[in-house]
Each structure stands twice: as structure tokens, then as C-alpha cells.
Structure 1
Amino acid sequence: MLVQSFLLAIRSIWSNKMRSFLTMLGIIIGVAAVIILVGLVNGQMSYMTEQFASMGTNRINVSITNLRTRSVDVDRMYEFYEDNEAYFDGMSPSVPISGGTVKIGNESLDSTSVTGISEDYLDIIGKNLEAGRFIQYADITSRSKVCVIGYYLATEYFKTPSAATGENIRINGESYTIVGVVERQTSESDELEEGGSDDFVYLPYTAALKLSRNGTVGSYVFTMRDTSQTDLVKTLIGDFLYPIMKNEDLYKITAMSEMLDSMNSMISMMSLLLGGIAGISLLVAGVGVMNIMLVSVTERTREIGIRKSLGAKRGTILQQFVIEAAVTSMMGGLIGITLGCILTKIVGKAVMDIDASATPGSILVSFGVSVGIGLLFGYMPAARASRLNPIDALRSD
């Protein structure tokens, strides 16, 4: 009986192709919209996770506003680090040179970031050298005018990383010798560009302090041994800083892992919200299914009367029309899934430049909802058909 009802549903849909397609259109759009939106949001989440992972989820950034009467010098921070090495893998002061102008030959580069760091910074960021050497402890103590540059500067202005070592650049009018080049940080498929992640200069932080005319370091980067101890380590740093600064507003402790968790939570909420908004179109499509099924019942009143007069039970008529509505929705759902999977990849790459793909969860949920809508909104017209009086149905024109 179920097989026969299914075949009758297919025959009915095929005999009214245009009407059936328009009925399915709402389901197709709704299912495709849910899959595309959820896929794009998840693709964006994966991209953000990769970006944070490249920044180091085991890092903790500490910013301090040093005052004349309350300040934390570098030596004191290193003492704290050495006393708590069981929790830390590395530490480096960070001295950004705001408004620093880099000059290579006759070219002035305003977008290049200039930062003073320690000899441990390369290990902290998890990168390797492409050529030359990195900043050394001797460079820190002697305030040597040496620097390490990014891959973009080396290839753009010196052709190769090897050729860049030993050359000079000027920073705020002072000459610095290039002693090393950091490996490329962007992927090979991405173009190197001015102001990008490969456009930077690293100096000894002592030289950077002198260059910026700032006597104290206000930023530090720590790496933890165990990211599960993030809260403990933050408390440890806070307990060290508060007795010195006596005001929590004068320092800020930021864990990259917490920022990643917060970002993922926000994106997940956005994914649910967008999926819900797209799901509204499925409800609208359900109303369309119900209307078309009501029209179908009206058109087939005589057929229903004949079937009932030949002994068809009320449940049989109900089953036939419910299955027809469910098959219509199911076919629309399958077309919507196919369309959604294809468009998710195309839109992700062409519009947002991310690798996005349909998620199994969104496919299952949207397909289940589409079939459920067919059953739910198809029941009322089916129930109406099953209640028709055979004599009245046969008299219908």
C-alpha cells in the first residue's frame, strides 16, 4: 500500500510539473539558504581558528601602563618569569615603535611595523629563519643597531633573503644592519603585500626603547607550558602586578586561548541565528505546500469519491495525500541540498576567499525539517480529503 501511494504521488507530481516545481521552490530556497549560511559561518570560524592558532593559543599578552611612582621594569619582570618557569615556556618584552618610518634606499615605507623584542621572540611565535641569524642576547645588552626583517621586505627590495643580510636600512633616520630574515608567514597561494604579516622589522628591545625615547617597557609576551592552566597563570601574573601597580586598570592580561573561545562562541551564536532566519523561509514554503495540496484535493474530489465508493478507507486516502506532500517536500529538499553544497563552495571562495563547505549537521537538519514540513502542512489537506462524503465527491464537477 505504501509503495502504491508513493508511486501515485510521483505520478501526480510529474503530471503537474510546473505547479510541483513552484511548490518545491520555497523548500529548495529554504534548504539551500540554511546550508549556505551555516557553511559560510563555519568556514569563517575555521579561518579565524587558524589565524588565532598561528598567533599562538598558548600565548598571554600583558600590557602595563607604567607611572612615575608605580612601574614594572624589565629586570623585575624577568625575575618573576624565572621564579615561575614551571608554568612558562618563554617571555619577551615587546616595544612597538608607533609612527616609525622605515627607509630602504630612496623608498619610505610607512606601513612596515617596527617592534623591539628579545632573543627568545622567534621561539615564542614559532617561526624559523630563512637566512642569517636572529637577535642575540649580546645585541640586547649592547643596544646594537641590528635588525631582522620579514620575508616581504627581503624579496621586494633585496630580491632574495640571502641577499638582504648584511644590507642596511634606516629607521627614523638611524641606520640598522640586517642580520636575518624570518621565513614566509603567509601561505604560498597568498600574495605578499605591503602592510601584511611579512612586512615587519624586529629590533633589540633596548635599541627600540632608545629609538622611541621611552624608558620603560609596557608590553610583554608569555608562552605557557600548558594551556589548561590559563586561569591559574593569569591569576599568577595578576597577583604579581597588583601589589606593584595597586590598580587593576593599570594593567591588562589577555590570553589568546580565551579570545579564541570567545570568538568561537560568538560565531556559533551567529550561525544559529542565521540558520534560524533562513529556516523561516522553510515555514513559508510549508504554507505553499499546504495551499497547493488544498488545490489538489479540490481538483481531485471526483477521484477521491470513486476510490471511496470502491472501498478505499479513510486512512488510505489520508496516507496518499500525506505521502504526496512529503514526497514533494523531500524532492525539494534534495534539490536544495545539492544546490546548497555547490553554492557554499563557490560563494566561500569567490566572495569571502575562504574554504567553506556544507556541514553534515546543516544537511541533516534542513532535510529533516523539509520532510517534516511536508508531513505537517500536508496533513490538513489530506485530512480534508479523507473526510469527503463519497456521494458528494462523485457529484462534484
Structure 2
Amino acid sequence: MEWIKDGNLDFLKKRKIEAREEAQKSVAEIIAKVKSDGDQALLDYTRQFDGIGLASILASEADKNEAVRHVPEPVLAAIKQAAKNIYAFHKKQMPKSWTEPAEQGVVLGQKVTPLDSVGVYVPGGTACYPSSVLMGAIPALVAGVKRVVLVSPPQKNGRIADGVFAAANEIGIDEIYQVGGAQAIAALAYGTESIRPVDKIVGPGNLYVMLAKKQVFGDVAIDSLAGPSEIAIVADEASDPAWIAADLLSQAEHDRLSMPILVTVSEAFGKQVEQEVMKQLKDLPRTDIASESVNRQGKIILVSGLSEAAQVINSIAPEHLELATGDPHALLPLIRHAGAIFLGKYSSEPVGDYFAGPNHIIPTNGSARYASPLGVESFIKRSSIIEYSNDALQANGQAIAAFARFEGLEGHARAVEKRMEGAVVHG
């Protein structure tokens, strides 16, 4: 891990992953092919990229039932309880429609309406992510979205990962398609013979998924352009170095580009954590991925005090932030930019990834400066409500017309004046 003792955070300038022109061109070609050839393009790309020949993109009931039978009972129980926790948390986020009367018969308000349809992308490949099913779909269901579609690449056995099916079954998602990559994003955005298009696409994915979401944005809404996972931990001697090392590795094992960062006031403690990281890497199943992440992206930042620690964190704006200090609540008010904040030495990041209830689809690459985790508000839209009585229009019409004419919009002014008693209307 790289040590930073002089406050130089220039590494943040290199955090964003720039896609090569060839990758962007390849994604554009995939999208165009799906738009023109529909299901056949999806089948062809699944054979080309995943090495699997499918008879149908749509997951069958037999596959769903068979998959659930392969998931161990303790895991099914964990999925069930996690779903309850996630539902409970997100129900508290639900905004409401409202109207409010004002003077002279004016009524103002907002109407909250859920989106009609949403596509949830669940990654496949090197791991199985039933947690992404719960985190992507439950807020949409709480918001009232009627059609929630799931897409995920098939495994080597020719079907979606068993755990993904189990999670979808637990929350009642039954429109599931066995397709991944940029082609899945294109299908959700533009539709094929089997897949009707959706209004919004959410969920993490690899570089090609991210580029596809970027290219279809505008024709369809997206949640974000997610980058590699990242964790920053502010810790001192109040925490166990082995625990902190394990938390850093929990994110390093995600991706070779993941960024694990320790911020500490104690050089001795930092060295203990660094030693533990190297020790624990030896028997970590995904050690190749985690080692590259630690060696290329890992940082230990030495600060003079907790005030400087907060400044560093606000500059990083990390996806995940652990405040594992003696008094994390004292540090919390100083934190302005972080996706999810874990307080205290027992609040390990995986608690939030899987179980606690808040969403684990969180802004990355510093976008926590202006963005929020996925939530119910991600799946609703607001319409403004404006009702003016005759008295209100008579009282305010001249001001409105004057404003419109100042902007050079005579038609706007006349639209108001035609309704005003005694007004001189031009034209």
C-alpha cells in the first residue's frame, strides 16, 4: 500500500477510468445490432461473449424452481431477512403528494407518480450477486413501479446464478431475462421481440455495461455511471488492526481497480493494518484480484488529527466510509461527502452491503459530492400542481405579463391578459 504523509491527494486525479475509443465503438456497435436484430443479436452475443447457446432469452419457470432448490437453507433465510430489512428502510423514504391552499384561491402542490417500468441489471461473471437483486428492485417496488424487469448474464450451466433467482423469487420478480453486458442494456432501452423497453435502468456492471448506460441515457433514464468500488476507513487504536485490514480487503476483492484507503492519525497503527492486510491476503480466495487492488490502488494516509481526517474524506468523497474511531459520532458532523457511512468498530461495510437495509448501490468516483445512494426517490417523478382562481389572476396578472414582456415573450403576456378584467390586450 502507498503511504501518503504530506497531504498530497493527487492520486484522486487518476481515479476516473477513461474508456478507450475501441471499447466505446464496440458498445455502439452492440447497441446498433440489438436495435436492428433484436432477440437474435442477444442470442448471438451470449454465445460470443459468454460461450453459451440459449434456446430462449426468457428464464423459464423450471429454471427458476431448479435454481432455488440449489440455494442452501441458511442463505435463503438470510435473503428473506435482508429483504425485510431493505423494505423497512426504504418505506421510510417514500415521498408524498401534497397540495396546499394559499391566499386568493391559489392552490399549489406536487403529485408523486412512480415510473411505469424499470430494468435492474445484476452482474454475473466472477461472482453471484443476489444482494444486487434486492437493492435494485425493492426500492422500485416500494415506489409503486408496476413492471420491474431483471437481466443478468447466464452462468456456465446455461442459466442465471441460483442466488439471483432465489432473491428474485423472494420479492416476486418474475420477468427475468438471461442476458448480460452492453447487449442487455440495449435491450432494456430499445426493446426486442421478447423484451419490452423500460423507462429506467439501474444496477452496477463492468466497463461495457457502464458505457452502454452512458450511450442510451436520454432515450432512457439511468441511475449512475458506476466506477470501481472504494472504501475509506478513518481508524485509530480504538480498533483492531485485523478488523480494519479485513474491511479494506472486503472491497479490494471486488475488482482489480477497487480502491481501499486507510486514514489514520497513528503511523504505528497504520503499519499494523498494513501488515495484517498482507497476512490476510495469503489465504483470501480472490487473492489475485485483491492483491492487485491493494498494490495499485491501496493508500494509507497519515493525518495530524480528526479535523484533517474529515478534510481528506471530504476530498475523496468515498463510496463507503467507516468511522472506526473512539468517538465516531463526534466525527460524523464534519463529514460532508460520502455514499454510506458506517459508525463504530462493529459496523463493518458488509453489514450494509447485504443486510442492514440502506442501499448498497452508492455513488462512486467522487460523485458522492453531488449524488445519493439508490432509493425510492430514484423511481418516482414529481409533477407540480398549480391552480389559480380568478381573484388570484386578477391580482397578479399585470406582474406576470410584465415579466413575460421583459423576456421578449409577448404571447405569454397576452395569454394572461386575455383573462384579466379591463386589461388592454394587444392583437
**Range of TM-score over shorter length:** under 0.3
Instruction: Look at both structures and tell me which one has the larger radius of gyration over its CA atoms.
Output: 1
Higher relative contact order by CA 8 Å / sep ≥ 6: 1 or 2? 1
